[in-house]
Amino acid sequence: MTFVVQTPKEGRPRAGGIEEQRRRIADTLREIVGERWVSIDPAILDTYAWQYLAEAVQGTHYMPRPLAVVLPANTEEVAAVVRACNDAGVQFKALSTGFGMWNAASQEDAIVQIDLRRLDRIVSIDARNMFAVIEPYVTGNQLQSEAMKVGLNTHIAGCGAQCSVLASATSVMGQGMDGISMGFSNRNLLGFEWVTPTGEIVEVGAFDAAGDDFIGDGPGFSIRGIIRGFAGAFGGLGVFTRCAVKLYPWDGPEHLECEGASPNYFMPIPEHHTAAVLLVNDWEGMAELGYAVGEAEIASHLTRNAPSLLAAALSTDNNEAADLYTIPMIHELYYALITVMTAKHAEEARYKRRVMREIVKSCGGGWLSNDLSPAGIVATLRFMRTILRQVGARRFLASLPGFVRLLLREGRRYGWHRTPEALPALIYQSVVRAGMNMRGVFRFAGTFWTAMGSLVTWDNAIRGAKVGAQVKEKYIREGAIVDDGGDNAWGGLYEGGLYAHLEELAMYDQTDPASHERIGEYVIETNLACIEHHCGDSLNAVGPPAHALFSPVCMNYDTFTQRIKAAFDPKNASEASVYTDPDFTPSERMQEQMAAVMANRAPVVLDE
C-alpha cells in the first residue's frame, strides 16, 4: 500500500540538538563533495519534501523535511557519503529523477537525501551486443534518442520518458507500453554497480571475467534476486550508481521528427510504421486479441487505455478532454488496445498489417490506423461497425458533430493535409516516445493513485480490472474520487504475452483533505480485493503495511526480505519505510482507514 511508516521519535535530539546534528553532518559531507554540493537551507530542503502522493500519506503536500541534501559526483563519493551516514548514526535516502513520495524522508529532520543528478552520463552503448551502461540521472528519452542513432531502442517505464532508466531497473518497477517486445524493467537489468548500505562498492556481473557489464550474474546465487523482485527496495538497500540495461532493435529512423510547440506536437509516422487502435466487442474479445497479438510477435508496442485516459491523452486541457469524453464513440472505447508496429521495409510492413487485420477480424473487431490501403480502409469500416454495435445508431450519429470538431481542431493545429494521419500520429508519439503518460492522469484532479496491477496472465489481469472497477465505483458514487467511468485500467502485455498487468487508476482531489483520506481507503480495499479474488499481489504491495496483508498469503515472503535487510544493512542506515520493517505497527490514521473500509465494503460480482 506504500504508506510511509510513522515511527516513534523518542530518543531523537531536541530542536537545538537537531540543528547541531545538521551542521555536523553538513560539515562532514562538505569534506567529501565540496561546499557547493551540500545544502541545509530550509527552502532547498522543502523542495525535496514536496512530492507526488505526499498528501495521501502525510495529509499535507509535503513529506518530512530531510536533515541535509548532498549531491555526490561519482560512485566513490556516494560510498563515502554512505559511510559517513553510518558513522554518524543518520539514515540516508537516494533519489535520481525523483518521482513520488517513495524518494523522500519518512521522518522530519532525520535523513540525508542523496541527490544523484550529477551522475548523468550514458557511459557507453554497445550496439553489437545491444546494451547500454548508464548512470542514475539518465532518462528514458535521453537513452532512447542516443540508442536510435545506432538502430536500437530502450524500454521506458510507464512513469514516462522523463524518469530514470536505472531507477526502474534496479529499485522500483517497470511496466511500459513497449513491454510486448521489450519486457519489464527488472528483466532488462544486466550488470550493476551497487554501494551497499554499509558503504561497500560492489560490482555485480561479469566484471571479474571480462571487466564489463554484459551479464547480470556470475556463478552461484543471483545477486539480482537479492536487490529486487517484482519491485525493488525503493532506496531501502543502498544506492545504485551505474547499471547496464538491454537494448532492442529499432526498425526506424535515427531521429524522429517533431514539429509544433508545447503542448501540441506533431510527429509524422515514419515510413513502414503503423499506429492503430484495435477494437473488439467485450472483455472476452480483449483476452483473445491480446494473446493473439502477443503470439504473432508483430507489435513493438501494445497498451490498453480506458476511454477517459484516451480523451486526456488526445487533448491539451480539461475542456478539450471533457468535450472528447462526451462523444459517445470515444466514451465507449473500453475494449480497445493501442498498438505500434515497426518495419524496415514495405514488404515487412504489409505482412504485419495483414496479420494484424486478420487477428482483429477473427476477434470480431476492426482497427483505426494510418493504413490507408483498401484493406486498411475495410478494417476501419469494421472498427466503425464494432463501435456502432456498442453505442447504437442514435448515439453513433450523435458522435459525428464531436468528431467533426476534433478533426477541425487537428487540421488547424497541424495542417489540413495531415488530418487523416493526425490521430494515429498522436498515438504514435504518445506510445513510442512515452512523453504524454502523465498528462493523461494528472490533469483531471491534479494527481492520482493506482491499484491492482499484478504481473499475471492476461486473463487474470482482465479479472483484476473488473474487480478494481467495481471497488472504485463505490468511491465515485460517494464523491471521493473523480468519475472517470469506473474502468480506468491501464497496462498491457509483456514479452509476447507471457505475462501482463492492468492497474486501476484513480484520480483524487489533492486540495481536499477528505479526498486524501478516501484514496487511502481505496488502496486498502483494492489490496484486500486482490487477495480475495485471486488477482495476485497488487502494484501497491510494497512497504510494511502491504506486507502485513500479502505476506501471510504468499509464503511469508517478508520474513526473507527482513533477513536480507538485516544481513546487508545491520545499522538500518538505508531508509526503508517503503521496503521492509520488522518492527512495523500501523499508524492511528492507517487503522482508522482500515476500519472504515471493513465497515463498508464494495460489492464485487464476477461472472465465472
- DSSP of 14-50: -HHHHHHHHHHHHHHHHHHH-GGGEE--HHHHHHHHB
Mean pLDDT value across residues 493-508: 95
Count other Cβ atoms within 10 Å, centred on residue 328. Answer: 18
What does the block give as the cell for 296?
504473432
Phi, psi of 123 (to 5 degrees): -65, -45
Is the pLDDT confidence value at 130 over 70?
A: yes
pLDDT digits (tens, 9 = 90+) for 368-398: 999 999 999 999 999 999 999 999 999 999 9
- Region 122-249: CATH code: 3.30.465.10
Q: Please give the sequence-ordered ranges of beta strands (E in DSSP) within 333-396, or none if there are none.
A: 336-341, 366-369
- Yes or no: say if 161 and 140 are a contact pair by the CB < 8 Å rule: yes
- State the pLDDT at residue 355: 98
Question: Which whole number is the average pLDDT over 591-598?
Answer: 94
Q: Which residues belong to CATH 3.30.43.10 in the chain?
A: 15-115
Q: Where in the chain is the domain with CATH 3.30.465.10?
A: 122-249
Q: What is the mean pLDDT of the segment spanning 237-256? A: 97
**Strands, DSSP E only, in 138-196?**
152-153, 189-195
pLDDT tens digits for 344-354? 999 999 999 99
- Amino acid in the structure at residue 293: V
Residue 3 reports pLDDT greater than 60: no
Predicted TM-score of the model (pTM): 0.93
pLDDT of 499 reads: 95
Mapped onto helix, strand or coil, the DSSP state of residue 490 is strand
Look up the CATH number of domain 15-115.
3.30.43.10
Return the closest-CA partner of residue 574 out of 242, 114, 254, 136. Answer: 114
Residues 10-56 pLDDT 10s = 444 555 689 999 999 999 999 999 999 999 999 999 999 999 999 98
Residues 147 and 150: their CA atoms lie apart, in Å, by: 6
468-484 average pLDDT score = 95
Integer Cα distance of 180 and 187 in angstroms:
13
Q: What pLDDT, on the 0 to 100 scale, is given for residue 553?
A: 94
pLDDT tens digits for range 267-292: 999 999 999 999 999 999 999 999 99
- CA pair distance 126, 128, nearest whole angstrom: 6
Mean pLDDT of 554-563: 94
Concatenate the DSSP letters of all residues of 218-273 into one string. Answer: -SSS-SHHHHBSSSB-TTTT-EEEEEEEE-EE--S-SS---EEETTEEE-PPPTT-
pLDDT value for 9: 40
